[in-house]
Structure 1
Amino acid sequence: MRGAAGRLRHLSNLSSGAAPYQNQNQLLHTMAAFKPTKIQVYPKLGEKVTQDTLYWKNYKAPVQIKEFGSVTNIDFSPVAPHNYAVTAFTRVHIYGPFSQEPVKAFTRFKNSAYCGRFRSDGQLLVAGCEDSVVRLYDISGKVALRMFKGHTKAVHVTDFTSDRYHIMSGSDDITCRLWDVPNATELTSYKEHTDYIRCGATSKLNRDVFITGSYDHTLKMFDARTDKSVMTMDHGQPVESVLLYPSEGLLVSAGGRYVKVWDLLKGGQPLVSLRNHHKTVTCLCLSSNGQRLLSGSLDRHVKVYNTTNYKVVHNFDYAASILCLGLAPDDKSIVVGMTNGVLSVKHRKSGVTESNKKGAQGRQNRRPTYRFFVKGKNFVPKQDDYLVSKPVKQHLAKYDKELKRFNHSKALDTAMESWMRFKKPEVPVAVIKELDRRGTLKNAVAGRDEKKLSQLLHFLIGNLVDPRFAPVLVTLAEMIVDIYRSVVGQSSVVDRQLLQLQDLLEREIDYQKELLEVMGMLETLFTASLPKKEALYPGISRSNGLTQKAQLV
């Protein structure tokens, strides 16, 4: 504390005494020779680059398409050119792989459409609706080929069975039904759920098997050859999405903050429970090779899991809550639908195309223009040559412009802008260090209102215990406490932040004490572990002990 008080007295003498610049000529010279604030580069732990990082980052900037309402379902056609159906509001739009406008639109829904899905041959599309009718469309037509009526409430789940001649549907009337496409008749109906059915999947290996997920927290597997479900699993949360692995030995369910994997070969036993999202998980998807599982959530994140150990290997961020996602074959595109009605499409970066090859060959035939721009760059002037250098214009940051004008308080305010405080804390620290070097930090901190003072305290709370910034910020903290000691008790916000700062410092001091105790114990262990021969030579023993300690650290 004596050292801190001495520094404060020294700073107060500088601020109240003679100016740092003795005459006007020295001031003008300093202004002309102003040097920008040096931002110290601190060591950072680089992002671990893995094969997954390289693979999932290899996408172009997203193409955003505005739909008429929230995008609730995305389904890719299994046949080339792999168009995808987007269900949003009262429409089902079909987009080409690289089109930004729909190539086909089905708009004759009286109310919100749901779950537009392709048949395995890509020729037919089925969709549910709020008016409880299931509609079947031909991709080349506009009018519904079949309309299946029997549900009494909104139909949120539709899908084709593997034989292509039957349709499964699930509704808010808590029933799931199986329909015959050629005859447009209902084959069977199940009423085992006790709440809305909002997701489902059909088996690609067995035409009679399908699975439904409900808001009653259960998943049920049905076999059309029986009159009741053959398997029931309890997810524990309202189920939003289900997904069958290609081998159909595993089932994935999403609901609440959980993604759960079930082993169907062992009677639906839970295999893994994942909780990596902060809000409700709404959609699931598998990569083309089945080795990566993707989940989208209302927390605006898409997480990629390794299906061998179910650890998160990559993460995508989006601007709004995610309702659905889809992956094109070979993962060429990732399409995400959001609550704000925006469809985000990311295309994979391709290699050298034929047009690029032709362009490269043409450039090789022409004289390369690059030589013109680098001509004379490596020329070294001789002894008698007169060198005329081109003046380089100096671009200063906002805080440097204020420092050049000696507006120290404004310079500190500029450096404390929100984006700079959170993303580049080294910039405010560098400005504070420069103000301290000039002896004007106390003047820059004084005279602040509640909002600006709270801003400084918030920055201190977030970075004071960082070993990179502590030597500079401790001085700032001492000045703030010294200057604003008289206003304590007049502002609840400032008082709360000061108490938080005090708790932070006390915890840090406790950590330092514990660290010193651990270092003392390690020193004792190192000394006791030395051979007896070395104990006869204290100097050698001491150096060896320090060497071993340094290697351990």
Structure 2
Amino acid sequence: MATEVVPLPPVKLPSGPSTLTPDQKFWASFSSQVLLPTPNSSPITHITSNSASAYTSSTSTTPSSAYIAVTTGPRLQLFSPQTLKATKTITRTASPFHSASVRRDGRVCLAGSDSGIIQAFDTSSRAILKTWEEHKQPVWVTRWHPRDLTGAMSCSDDGTVRLWDLPAEKSVWQGWGHQDYVRCGAFVGDGNLMVSGSYDQTVRLWDQRIGGSTGTTDKSNATVMQFKLSAPLEAVLPLPGGTTLAAAAGEKLVVLDLVGARPLHILRNHQKTITSLALASHGTRVLTGGLDGHVKVFETASWNVVAGLKYPSPVLAVDVVAVGSTKEDRHLCVGMQSGLLSIRTRLSGAVKVARREKEREMAALIAGKIDEYDRKSAKKRGRGWEKRVRGKDYTGEGADIVINGNERGKLRHHSKWESALRRGQYEIALDLVLDTRDSTAILTLLTALIHRSALRTALSNRNSAALMPLLRWLNRKIQDPRHVRLSTDVATMVLNLYGDQLGQSSEVDAAIRDLHSEVRKSVEVAQMCWGTVGMLDLLQATAGE
């Protein structure tokens, strides 16, 4: 039996360096952007959601209790994470809202306004359930307790941090000590500790189990830790674990160690004030939004910027909406000074496929080819391999199946250059493959010629017109690190064969000069890379000492 003739296997090159990192690809996948202008063009001052907790809460297991709360001027809007439409709009106050927080069961929304009033609303009926008027200046923070369904905290421009119980008529705890506006705050860990940031450039850690008071006359200080920073505080964000804190002080992002009571990192990646912080990717990423219109993504291991997005207006609020029991990042919500709310959605694989199929169907309908589209869709869905064998059953164990190989000399789908290579016509094969301009085919043929020691034969006895296609290919590929060894071998062979004939063709001479220039550039880049490697090795050695 004759040996079967198979096609020449194409050369498989290693993939080049990716232009995008995994983090950049992940955040670029938030591509389905929806821009929602506010009715009164007021700046969007706050965005928060209870989406992930609504799915996992013991009191509510349906996504109908999930909301994205957005404050803009005197309006408090509750958006559905499923439809991205405002399902509720609350306008029960003439003063602008500054903060809002929906309880994890989705039944009550707590909001603070410019008048200093804190109100609790029923999310179903929008009725006012409770009103507190102890704060005499704007309230910028309202947050529900992480464990207690009736507990909440607030921070105000009157310099106080207060705890509330929904059934109570007055605050149950007050924290005194800030000397200026308190614009940010949050619960830490299980809720026994709180953190606040003020325009007095301090971050204070509070313990509600000590100090404070149940009356407004006792102004004892319950601060258990204090950090003095270089600029007013606009946002604070406790990180998972409860031992690290991110704080936005001016244009700097400061990472604070609550165990060692010291700053870990001071990051200067924004050009203007950072206004908002948000967690993403199960707490492994921190997003910052600033007045420079940038949203930057930091990884929390070594605090490097791994991705970024640019918006047309100063960013005032940022939040990442996680959905489902796995808390998968689904929506990136950004509120801007111009009154625009941007919601970028990351679609899952199945949703992407369904959306593309829907777009094809609509395109076919518009083009009047819907019948053809239906036939192709039915063919994909209903025709399997068993229908193509005309009813024959090949699934039994006793079936004899014989697979015949290709007969020698009758190779199907054989290209012309492969036929010439089989016949030993190396010069013709090289000319034919260069005419195709197929880089993979050219690399495959050149590799085969080197393996057969036929490269000199293929390159010999060429005039300037026959030599120029190869020189042009070498000029394009000589700097590609994936096949620099192959292209260098070919270029060396060309110079050995035709070096003594330079000066006879201006076109060939120009191509050789260009090739020399490309090689010099590659050498310079390589020298710079080795110099950089040497400096990094020196820095690592110095750090190790």
TM over 0.5: yes
Q: What's the counterpart of residue 318 of structure 2?
A: 325
Q: What's the counterpart of residue 216 of structure 1?
A: 200
Whether 1:79 aligns to 2:64 is no
What are the Cα deviations for residues 76-130 of structure 1, in whole angstroms up to 9, with x where unaligned? 1131433200011011101112435410111101201111012232222111111
Are residues 189 and 367 of structure 1, via their aligned partners in 2, closer, same or farther at CA, if it must alter by over 3 Å?
closer
- Find the aligned partners of 1:290 and 1:307 in 2 and give their Cα distance: 8
1:225 alignment partner, one of 195, 204, 209: 209
Amino acid at match of 1:50: T
Are residues 224 and 366 of structure 1, via their aligned partners in 2, closer, same or farther at CA, if it must alter by over 3 Å?
closer
Deviation of 1:170 (Å) = 1.1
5 Å matches for 1:192-207? 192-205=177-190, 207=191
Deviation of 1:552 (Å) = 4.8
- Find the aligned partners of 2:259 and 2:375 in 1 and give their Cα distance: 60
- Find the aligned partners of 2:188 and 2:69 in 1 and give their Cα distance: 21
- Find the aligned partners of 1:182 and 1:313 in 2 and give their Cα distance: 45
Q: What's the counterpart of residue 114 of structure 2?
A: 130
Deviation of 1:367 (Å) = 6.4
- Find the aligned partners of 1:345 and 1:304 in 2 and give their Cα distance: 16
1:242 alignment partner, one of 236, 240, 255: 236
Amino acid at match of 2:343: V
Amino acid at match of 1:145: L
- Find the aligned partners of 1:133 and 1:91 in 2 and give their Cα distance: 15
Are residues 58 and 355 of structure 1, via their aligned partners in 2, closer, same or farther at CA, if it must alter by over 3 Å?
closer
Deviation of 1:352 (Å) = 2.4
Structure 1 vs Structure 2 CA RMSD: 2.7
Amino acid at match of 1:336: V
Q: What's the counterpart of residue 517 of structure 2?
A: none
Matched residue SS, 1:352: helix
Deviation of 1:48 (Å) = 3.0
Q: Is the 8 A contact 1:74 1:326 kept in 2?
A: yes
Which structure is richer in relative contact order (CA contacts within 8 A, separation 6 or more)?
A: 2
Q: Is the 8 A contact 1:282 1:322 kept in 2?
A: yes
Deviation of 1:364 (Å) = 4.1
1:158 alignment partner, one of 139, 142, 149: 142
Deviation of 1:263 (Å) = 0.8
Q: What's the counterpart of residue 81 of structure 2?
A: 97
Q: What's the counterpart of residue 30 of structure 2?
A: 59
- Find the aligned partners of 2:169 and 2:24 in 1 and give their Cα distance: 48
Whether 1:188 aligns to 2:159 is no
Matched residue SS, 1:332: strand
- Find the aligned partners of 2:174 and 2:124 in 1 and give their Cα distance: 31
Matched residue SS, 1:336: strand
5 Å matches for 1:242-391? 242-266=236-260, 268-329=261-322, 330-353=328-351, 355=354, 364-366=376-378
- Find the aligned partners of 1:258 and 1:47 in 2 and give their Cα distance: 30
Are residues 191 and 59 of structure 1, via their aligned partners in 2, closer, same or farther at CA, if it must alter by over 3 Å?
same
Q: Is the 8 A contact 2:272 2:291 kept in 1?
A: yes
Deviation of 1:208 (Å) = 2.7
Name the % identity: 32
Q: What's the counterpart of residue 173 of structure 1?
A: 158
- Find the aligned partners of 1:295 and 1:355 in 2 and give their Cα distance: 33
Are residues 549 and 154 of structure 1, via their aligned partners in 2, closer, same or farther at CA, if it must alter by over 3 Å?
closer
Q: Is the 8 A contact 1:161 1:208 kept in 2?
A: no
Matched residue SS, 1:303: strand
Q: Is the 8 A contact 2:67 2:106 kept in 1?
A: no
Number of corresponding residues = 330
- Find the aligned partners of 2:527 and 2:75 in 1 and give their Cα distance: 65
Matched residue SS, 2:233: coil
Deviation of 1:252 (Å) = 0.5
Q: Is the 8 A contact 2:244 2:257 kept in 1?
A: yes
Amino acid at match of 1:314: A
1:148 alignment partner, one of 121, 127, 132: 132
- Find the aligned partners of 2:223 and 2:36 in 1 and give their Cα distance: 41
Are residues 46 and 357 of structure 1, via their aligned partners in 2, closer, same or farther at CA, if it must alter by over 3 Å?
closer
- Find the aligned partners of 2:138 and 2:203 in 1 and give their Cα distance: 19
Are residues 83 and 363 of structure 1, via their aligned partners in 2, closer, same or farther at CA, if it must alter by over 3 Å?
farther
Q: Is the 8 A contact 2:32 2:346 kept in 1?
A: no
Matched residue SS, 1:60: strand
Matched residue SS, 2:172: strand
Deviation of 1:365 (Å) = 4.7
Amino acid at match of 1:185: K
Are residues 355 and 53 of structure 1, via their aligned partners in 2, closer, same or farther at CA, if it must alter by over 3 Å?
closer
Q: Is the 8 A contact 2:189 2:241 kept in 1?
A: no
What are the Cα deviations for residues 52-89 of structure 1, in whole angstroms up to 9, with x where unaligned? 11111112242110113100110111314332000110
Consecutive unaligned residues of structure 1, counting only runs of 5 or more, are 1-44, 369-545
